[in-house]
Amino acid sequence: TTGFAWYEPGSSLSSIKTGTFKAAGDNAEEKAASLALQLRELFYEEFTLQEGSKGRRLVKPDFVVIERPLPNIMQFEKFGDDLIDGEIASSTVNPNQMLLPTYIGAAVAIIAAYRIPFETIAPQSWHKAYYGSGFKPPKKWVRIKRHPQGGKWQNDWKTPAIERARALRITVKNADAAEAVGIAFAGAGLQTFRSMTARAA
């Protein structure tokens, strides 16, 4: 699942449209195709013709910004049972993180096919633009199966994203949509977008 946000700089913040895509499929390729098709549908809207029938028109954005995956695959501890020593910890990775480039590639293919300029942005960059310099996320307790302490404290970036969006009176249903708002805000400040705006003016 990933969020999206339509943002028109200079317009009312309440007009920002947010939502989520949920990938469907049995493997990475099918899920990538699902995301691509949903993104394409987002670029069209229905309208009523004079005779009352429905039509569709293209409403593609002028610029797209996408969160860049972390360059390193993060490792974390996985706990299991050892017949002799009891609970043991081993190192593992999050397989979903390894698939992010596949999903982003599907999105970029659609965006490029529509000749839409785009850029990727690192999480720490949009965090700074959205929350302000020096912001530190709160900690939340995450329960981990078979962990000796029952779990551990981790940074919570989801809750502040929702709180920030709602403080700005932007309607968001979940953290994915709220984080998309932050990415859109940061995208409006990128040099690529600012240069486009200056040329258009």
Give the mean pLDDT of 55-81.
80
Residue 2 to residue 120: CA distance in whole angstroms: 15
Q: What pLDDT was estimated at residue 87? A: 55
pTM over 0.85: no
pLDDT band at 151 (very low <50, low <70, confident <90, very high): confident
Distance between CA atoms of 102 and 36, rounded to whole angstroms? 11
Which of 16, 23, 193 lies closest to 121, judged by CA?
Answer: 193
Please list the residues that pair with 57 across neighbouring strands: 45
